[in-house]
Amino acid sequence: MARKFLYFVAGMVVLVLAGAFVFQVYGDELMEVAFVPDTEFTAQEVLENNVYADTNMWMARPELVKNNPALWLPAGYEDMDEAFPEAKKAAVFFIHPTSFLKKDRWNAPLDDTESQARARIFLRGQASAFNAIGDVWAPRYRQATLGAFLTDKREGQQALDAAYQDVLAAFDYFVAEIPSDQPIILAGHSQGSLHLTNLLKDRVAGTPLANRIVAAYVVGWPVSAENDIPEMGLDVCESPDQTRCILSWQSFAEPADYARIIRVYDTTIGFNGQPRKDTALLCTNPINGDISSSAPATANLGTLVPNDDLSDASLVAGSVPARCDDRGFLLIGDPPEIGPYALPGNNYHVYDYSLFWANIRADARRRMTAFLAP
């Protein structure tokens, strides 16, 4: 399912470098030339046992206070609700999206300054939504380069498999390190959510750990409600106060053109071994916290609008609506003025969290409160 799904992220860069017209005419070819490595895949060295005990292997974890991007808040923002007491906080495991764009190798080295800086920007706008309800753990991992999603070469899948091994190692350390009864929230975006779907299948489904999951936010990646969810160990979040369940959405302004995503999605096989073709995507409305619903802009508690250099953002309430369409995509009305990285087809993938940051924050608090209720 990963192959060619993230073409639109490459589109963001291509649009900047080549211009919209060139992208529309030669988009797929340009992206493959620009991003797909032409080198052989080299198997990564297996990480040493317990390597994630080193705080340097994390961009966010409880011990990291200085320059922790997950602790960021918009200027002037203050939570109106009381903080959860220390003994009742969740542990949040967050997997960041693709930040490595180079084509000289298939997996990001851990010391790549550019991709690490980009990942920290993503964490500020995404993982920060969860910092009111618990401690965020966000591992560094040797993620697949963007080009791995844009090719049929077997090296692309090899790169994704290698990245997933790092995620598994980080998650296993995370689970072993936190108290054995601490509630857990799982979250990711894009490539991070791809790894999260597999993690749910391989580490949560059918295990006692499933009972500790408050919710899993599988954002910016297509999930088949029929052919994936039954193998992922949790139910769909059908109501705003439900727990032990999964949320997922992909954001498009209108008119939305997601034909390319559907073409790829319809060629893939679900976790249950059946074709995903013509099955509906799981669509959570992040404003309402339920599925397949509509919400007016007035119900949006706050959208993050970044400044020009992405160093900060302001919170603007009431500007973006949301509704799930029949195929399972989240439609947000007219294109909002949120920044220059809207992608072809009115795809707001880059802003999946930013569009609904305050509502996601409220959603996590509400589910955490319900989870802790006697």
Reported as a single tens digit per residue, the pLDDT across 264-315 is: 899 999 999 999 999 999 999 999 999 989 999 999 999 999 888 878 899 9
pLDDT at position 371 over 90:
yes
What confidence category does residue 32 fall into, taking pLDDT thresholds of 50, 70 and 90?
low
Mean pLDDT value of segment 75-88:
82
Mean pLDDT across the chain: 89
Mean pLDDT value of segment 175-179:
97
C-alpha distances (whole Å) from 172 to each of 70, 139, 203, 211, 271 are: 21, 12, 9, 17, 22
Mean pLDDT value of segment 321-348:
93
Q: Please tell me the least confidently modeled range out of 18-22, 43-47, 83-87.
A: 18-22
Instruction: Give the pLDDT score at 25.
Output: 35
Instruction: Give the pLDDT score at 327.
Output: 94
Instruction: Give the pLDDT score at 307.
Output: 87
1 vs 148: CA distance, rounded Å: 12
Cβ contact 374:142 at 8 Å: no
**Peptide linkage before 183 cis (omega within 30 of 0):** no
pLDDT at position 111 over 70:
yes
What confidence category does residue 13 fall into, taking pLDDT thresholds of 50, 70 and 90?
very low
pTM for this entry? 0.92
pLDDT at position 34 over 80:
no
Q: Which residue has the tokens 């923002």?
A: 77
3-state secondary structure of 235: strand
Instruction: Give the pLDDT score at 311.
Output: 81
Cβ contact 282:347 at 8 Å: no
Instruction: Give the pLDDT score at 340.
Output: 85
pLDDT tens for residues 92-101? 999 999 998 8
